Copies of this chain bind each other. A is one copy, B any other.
Amino acid sequence: MSEQKILVIDDESPIRKLLQITLQSNGYEVAEAITAKDGLAKAINQLPDLILLDLGLPDEDGHSVLKKLRTWYTNPVIIISVQSSEEDIVISLDNGANDYLVKPFRTGELLARIRSALRVGNISDENLVIQFNNLSIDLAARVVKKNNSIIKLTLTEYSLLALFVRNEGKVLTHRYLLKEVWGPGYLNQTQYLRVYIAQLRKKIEDDPNRPVHIITESGVGYRFIITE
């Protein structure tokens, strides 16, 4: 998933600074606007995933800004305001705000409320899938496919393969592989490796007798190669 963009519309410079730092350090892209007019323009041009709107803008009443936004903007809008009166809260929510936070707010809570608002409508994020030749490996889902059908790998086989994939192109020594998959107490059980390398090759190579992905580096270890 690419970075999500949040538009901050607030005339108080310290608040904007705080929000910018907080949001950016949490992986959001931040756009800023100081006035209502600027805010509405930036909302149109940049189509942010979420808008943080201060009710107390200098050039226009916040409620009016929210109503204008809601004529076309469907993503979440969270109000941030010094006003804690019930009237302001009720009006804002009924005008289509998704949430209302009173300044000063706790940044942890703000971030949680942003996550909550963004969650709605967000389906599942795609996993990183490595694909090459007739193989596809989805590390997050723990799924390996060959010619589009799922291959069953045992725990040990999968650990080995995942190690290889994450270190594609590098030579992995016997000792390293044994330490990572079996643990530090198995450093000289190279025999285990031979057995499991053979099983992996049987499952993922087209011709296990002439492997193109899991290459033997005699006397050293093995290397995993992604051929295009």
Contacts and interface: CB of A to CB of B under 8 A. Distances in A.
A112 interface: yes
A90 interface: yes
Contact of A112 (B93, B113, B155): B93
A170 B219 contact: no
Interface in A121-152: 121, 123-124, 140-143, 150, 152
A86 interface: yes
Interface stretch (A44-52, A94-102, A203-211): A94-102
Interface residues of A, number: 43
Give the number of copies in the complex: 2
Contacts of A185: none
B120 A98 contact: yes
Q: Interface centre among A116, A123, A158, A220, by most B CB within 10 Å?
A: A116
A19 interface: no
Top 5 A-B pairs, shortest CB-CB distance: A93-B112, A142-B171, A141-B170, A90-B112, A155-B219
A142 B167 CA distance: 12
